[in-house]
Amino acid sequence: MTLIHHLAFASEWQSAQVSGEYRRSTVGKSLDDEGFIHASLPDQVAATYRRYYSELPEVVLLTIDTDLLASPWQFDAVGTTEFPHIYGPLNLSAVIAAEPYELEGQ
């Protein structure tokens, strides 16, 4: 089991619970726009939050068990590091936790 994370807006996560799947890739872009859903390893979450989400309201940290994903996923090079990407909709059953996220000291 590999645990990966995705930062989501609370309203979009709530909508996904109604529709049965999550299709947001990143801020301002859908799965259809990007072709995949951006994710992070645990030690990458804070930097992703600082770069893209710190000024935005109601961010939720989704913890995803990759063994439960219905869509394929893989690590892709981004600059000099690798990030996990999910190549299809995120099935809700793969999300093992969804908690409000804010960095300490923000």
pLDDT digits (tens, 9 = 90+) for 46-80: 999 999 998 999 999 999 999 999 999 999 999 89
> Does a structural domain hold residue 41?
yes
Q: Whole domain around residue 33: which residue ranges?
A: 3-100
60: domain CATH number? 3.20.170.20
Taking the model in full, what pTM does it have? 0.94
Question: If you average pLDDT over every residue of the chain, what do you get?
Answer: 95
Distance between CA atoms of residues 68 and 101, nearest Å: 23
What is the chain's alpha carbon radius of gyration, rounded to the nearest angstrom? 13
Q: How many domains does the chain have?
A: 1
Asked, for residue 70, whether it belongs to a domain, the answer is: yes
The pLDDT of residue 105 is 52
pLDDT band at 102 (very low <50, low <70, confident <90, very high): confident
pLDDT(98) > 70: yes
Is residue 106 in some structural domain? no
Q: Is there a domain that residue 105 lies in?
A: no
